[in-house]
Structure 1
Amino acid sequence: MSSRERILGRVRRALADVPRDDAPYERAVGRDCLREHGERTVAETVELLAENLADYRAVVHRCTAGDLASTVAGLLAARGSRTVLVPPGLDPDWLASSVAERVPDRAGSTAHELDRIDSVVTGCAVAVAETGTIVLDGSADQGRRRITLVPDHHICVVRVPGQVVSSVPQALERLDPARPLTWISGPSATSDIELDRVEGVHGPRTLEVVLVDDQSRDEVRS
């Protein structure tokens, strides 16, 4: 008899006199949670996203689609970035005005090589207004998970209002759970028992989010 079988046997014996639940687990727990907290217009949802991003110490910028290239170039220049990591499917127009050297995302790149990169620019899958969270799913404009965890400076472009939802349940409806999802709420940070905050421990020390008006007037809430 294996260790697993012995343990499961003990569990079964311990539960032998426990009455069965009146309803199966999948029906015993209610699933009628709120899909969002309060009603908001599209503009109010985007404002809430910007507010919560800033509350998590992300740096929020806004621009039109036509100004995106100059905005990204300005952020890289202000940072003094000489190299920028580029996911394979990133729109080349986003970096058209930047003078930084573009480094492609290579499967063979080591953590030390990625650590020498000054900045990384990505898109996103969806952004959640109520939590100030950006979700990456490894799509071509976002690249592999590690390219947004090792470099110290991450610029993430969010198309508004098309990529913005109010709540986590709405975000989950858009996401494929089989994909490598990275949920980002501000720059990487942690604190010790004395609550001394340290940033850049598990990912980028600086997160800059560019909210780009994609000119869509569709509702972001389903």
Structure 2
Amino acid sequence: MSSRDQILGRVRRALADVPDDKKTYAYDRAVPRDYLREHGDRSTEETTDLLAENLADYRALVHRCTQEELPALLARLLAERDARTVLAPPGLPPHWLDATGTSRVEDRAASTPHELDEVDSVVTGCAVAVAETGTIVLDGGPDQGRRRITLVPDHHICVVRVPDQVVSSVPQALERLDPRRPLTWISGPSATSDIELDRVEGVHGPRTLEVVLMSGDRKPRLA
């Protein structure tokens, strides 16, 4: 018996005394959901400013640009790191990297951790960004690629479409996300602290996270 079968078996036994017509709603009825959906009433501009502020608090490097300015900005950010190779998912708009002059690495299932570690930078889009927590969420979409490409390389540039992909709160973000997809929640660059609170970055993800808030573009929704 698999672990999945064991867990589902426990769930069935726990619901054994619940009538069949109420099982679907038993959990929803047992848990009150009267919590705030967002804290405060903010305009779109104020929500975006809050996102930028909280991203910076987590030591992410935040940039703003228009859709037209994005290729030049990405070229500058990659040049500042002397990036010679950049990994980009297949669904990333090709013109975003036209001005970079870097060698583009494909997102391949066969890539080994060692090969990914040799990549200088990775550029992706995102699924949604949460202003109140300064969190970027990836769901493995065409412009985000496999989860590991944003966990192994040391430098990650994530482009957020403003205002289409920016929400105020986690409850609002969850409404947009499909729980069946591989979700990665990112709040700043990878970091940890030892017992003396000495901070170490780049332990289990990118040492440097750069977030580009790009206005003037809307991502098509997946069917």
Matches of 1:28 and 1:89, distance apart in 2: 42
Equivalent pair of 1:162/1:214 in contact (CA under 8 Å): no
**1:47 match:** 49
Is 1:141 the counterpart of 2:143? The answer is yes
**1:210 match:** 212
Matches of 1:152 and 1:38, distance apart in 2: 36
**1:17 match:** none
Equivalent pair of 2:161/2:217 in contact (CA under 8 Å): no
**1:117 match:** 119
Percent identity between the aligned chains?
A: 76
**1:128 match:** 130
Is 1:187 the counterpart of 2:189? The answer is yes
SS at match of 1:66: coil
Q: How does 1:52-63 map to 2 (within 5 A)?
A: 52-63=54-65
RMSD, aligned α-carbons: 1.7
Is 1:104 the counterpart of 2:106? The answer is yes
**2:221 match:** none
How far has the Cα of 1:68 moved from its partner?
0.2
Q: Which amino acid aligns with 2:204?
A: H
Matches of 1:139 and 1:114, distance apart in 2: 19
TM-score with structure 1 length normalisation? 0.85
**1:19 match:** none
**2:34 match:** 32
Q: Which amino acid aligns with 1:203?
A: G
How far has the Cα of 1:197 moved from its partner?
0.4
Matches of 1:56 and 1:76, distance apart in 2: 21
Inter-CA distance 146–95: structure 2 relative to 1 (3 Å threshold) = same
Moved more, 116-125 or 27-36: 27-36
Matches of 1:171 and 1:26, distance apart in 2: 19
SS at match of 2:63: strand
Q: Which runs of 5+ in 1 are unaligned?
A: 13-23, 217-222
TM-score with structure 2 length normalisation? 0.85
How far has the Cα of 1:28 moved from its partner?
3.5
Moved over 3 A (4+): none
Matches of 1:184 and 1:166, distance apart in 2: 16
**2:170 match:** 168
Q: 2:156 aligns with which of 150, 154, 157?
A: 154
Equivalent pair of 1:189/1:198 in contact (CA under 8 Å): yes
Inter-CA distance 103–166: structure 2 relative to 1 (3 Å threshold) = same
Q: Which has the larger radius of gyration?
A: 1
Q: Which amino acid aligns with 1:206?
A: T
SS at match of 2:174: helix
Matches of 2:208 and 2:173, distance apart in 1: 24
Q: Which amino acid aligns with 2:178?
A: D
SS at match of 2:123: strand
